[in-house]
A and B are shown apart, each in its own frame.
Chain A
Amino acid sequence: MSESSALRVLQGLPASGGLAFGRCHMLNSDSSPRELGLPDDEMDIFEAARSESESELQRLIEQSDELGGEILEFQAMLLEDDSILGPVRSRISKGEPADAAWSAVLDGEISEYEEMESEYLAARAVDLKDLRERVLRSMAEPGSVQREIDCGAVIVADVLGPSAFLEIDWTRAGGLALGRDSATGHVAILARSRGVPMIVGVNGICDIAHGRAVLLDGDAGTLTVGSSRQLSKRHEQLADRLEKNRAATASFSFSPAKTKAGRRITVSINVGDPAALVSIDPKICDGIGLVRTEFLFARGELPSEDVQTRQYRRIVNWAQGRPVTIRTLDAGGDKPVPGLTVDGESNPFLGTRGLRLSLLNPDSFKTQLRAIARAAALGPVKAMLPMVTATSEFMLAREHLDDALADLEQDGARYARPELGIMVETPAAALTAGEWPTDFYSIGSNDLVQYVTACARDNPDLSNLSDPMHPAVLELIGRTIQAANRRGVEASLCGEMASMPSMVPVLLSLGLEAFSVDPSNVAQVKMAIAEFEDA
C-alpha cells in the first residue's frame, strides 16, 4: 500500500463507514471567561442559561428524528435533574460565579462517567460535556452560532457533542473526523444512523489547515490530506471498490459459507472490544473465532473478575448460542501492558509474551480463567492459549484451569468448563501439533509468518519477505490441519490471511474448514469460498 509522498495519511478508528471527499471544515469551541456578579445575579444568569439551553434543546428535539431526539432528551432531562441542579445552586449561593459552579459540578459528573468500567457509560461523558458547553455558551453569549458549511465539507474537530452534531447541516457536510471520542459514543451512533462517514481518535487532527482538501475513509479509519487532484483520483478508486464490496455484502453476508460443490465452511469473526458488536448482526457468522482480551487490560490496571465476566457475558449473549473463542491475555511482544509485561527485553517478540507471561502471573491468569468459565455458563465458550512452544506449558495452563474450576465449584458460582485449545503461532507448536492434548487448534498466521520467515512484524523494510504464501508457512499450516484431523478436533485460522479473499483458495486446498475473519471481510471471504472448486 504505497502512498504518493505528497499525501499525508492520518490514522484513526472507523466509526461509521463510507467515503467523504471535500474541504476540511474546522470547528472550534472556546468559551471566554466572564466577570463575577453578586450571588443573586449569578443565580439569574444560571437560570436564564438553563432555560435558554432547555428551549434550544427542545427545538432541536422537534427538528431531529426519533434517535437524535431521544439522545437530546437525556440532556434536556439533566437540566431538570436535582442531583445536578442542587449542587450548582448551592455553589452559586456561596459566591461562586455561575459558569464556574456549573463547570465544576458537570466536570465532577463527567469524570465519574469517564472512570466507569463500561465503555458505553464512559461514552456518556460526551453527552455531559455537550450539555456543559451548551449552557456555558449560553452564559457567554446568548444565541448559538450559525455555521456556514461548504458543500461536501469534511467536518473536523477535536471533540463534538451530539447536539452540535445535530445542528450541522448534513445535507451539505459530507463526513466527520474527530480527534477524540469513541466509536460507541452517541455521535457515532447518530452518524451511522444517518449514513455520515465518520472516524474517531485521529492524532494530529487539529494541525490540518481549514480549507485544505481531505479524503475521509470511514471503513479504513483514515483521513488523507493532499492536493485535490491526487485525492480526487484516490477517491474514485476507493469509491469503485466500496461499491463492489457493498454489492457483495448484500448477497453473501447472511448465507452460510459453502464451496461451489456445497461443502460447508465455518466463517467466524475476530473481535476486540465487545462495544463494536452493537452494530454487527450475529447472523452473518458462525461464531467468534477470536476474542482479543487485551482491550480489558489497556487501562493500565488489571481488570477484576467481575469486570471481565461481565464483558465476556456480553459477547456470549451477543453470539446467541454460537461458539465464542476467548483468547487469554496476549500481552508482550508489540503489546505492552503496564504493570504486567516485562520492560526492557532485548527482543520482546522472542520474550515473555502470551501464555508465558500468564504463567508468570498465575493470580491474574486464574482470574481470567474464572471469568471465562463463568461466561461459559451462558453458552459455548472456548479458551485459547496464545504463544505456546512446549506441551508442558499446556499442561500447566490446564492445571490452572482445573484449579479455577474447583474454586468456582467451592464458591457455588455458576460456571461451565470451557474447551481449552492452543493458538499455533510458533514453528515448534506447528511441527509438533499432533502431540498436544488440546481441544482445538487455531492458527495465528501473523505470528507464524513472523517466526517462520524471521521477519519482525513491525519492520516495514521486510514486508516483501514476510510472506504468508511462503512454502514453509503453508507447509506448517497444512501439517497443523492434518494433525487436527487425525485427532478429530477443529483447526481454524484467525490471522489476517483468513480475511484476505486472495488467500482463501490456497487455505481451502490445504484442508482448512474454519476461518475467523475481520467482521468487515465476512462477505468477501464467503464469496471467495463460494467460487472455490473442490478437487
Chain B
Amino acid sequence: MDIKSFQADFINAIFGGDKEPAVSHIIGDSILTAEQRLGIYSGSVHGILTQALGTMFPVCKSLVGDVFFNNMCAIFIDKNPPNTSFFAEYGTHFPVFINAFEHVKDIHYLPDVARLEWIRQEIWHEEKSQLADFSGLATLSEDEQSKVVFNLSKRMRLIRSDYRIDELWFAHQEDSELNLEDIEMDYAVKLIVRRDENTIKISSFNETEDDSNFWDFLDAISEGNNLDNLAEQFGESLGVHLSQGIQGGWIERFTITNE
C-alpha cells in the first residue's frame, strides 16, 4: 500500500471525488461496508467544517435556515477543501461563493451580510499595531508631504452595501430590540467595522448625511491615495478629516512613497 497515494485518494473521496480508489484499501464487514466506513469520515469532516462556517456566519445561517445552510456548506466545502490549519482562516471564499450561488439569488442582501460577517472574523484575528508618531509629519518637506500615504488601522474595515445590512445584523443579536420586519432593507449604507479591544463596533454612515464624506475620505486612504490626491478630492475638509482620523485611531501610520 502506497500511503502517499492513499492519502491523496482519501482526500479526494471525502471531498466529493471518486471513492473507489480509497475504498479499495479499507476492510468492509457485515455491519458496515468499506464505503460506509469511509463515509463516516466524510460526514465527520463535513460536520466539523459546517459547524465552523455556522459559527463564522451565524446571521447568514439564520437567514436561510439550518438545513439550507448546511446543504449550501456541503457544496462549498467540496469545492473549497481547507488549506489552512486555522479555522479562523477558513471561510475567506464563502461570501464570494454565496454571491455566485444560484439558489440564493433572490436574497439580494445575503452576499453583503456574508461579507460583513467575514470582516468581523478577520478583525478578530488582526494584531494590534503601534500608533505612529504623527508629529513627524510637520518636519517633512513640502515635496515629501505630498507623497505621504496613510494606513488605516488593521482592526478596521470599510464596507458599502445597497442594503441595510448593519441593522439586519443587529436584529440577529441576542439583546437586540430591532425587529426584522421594521428594517427598510433597500437602503444604501457605508459602514465602518472596527475592533476596539474586546468588542467590534459597526458604525453606519448614511449616503445623505454630511459625515458620509468622512467615510469616503477613509475609503480614499484605503485605496492608497497620497496626500496630494486627498487634498484634491477633499479640499477644505482634508484638515478636519485628517485630524479626526488620527485622533480617533482610524489612521495608524504613514509612509512616504516614491511616486
A, B in one complex: no
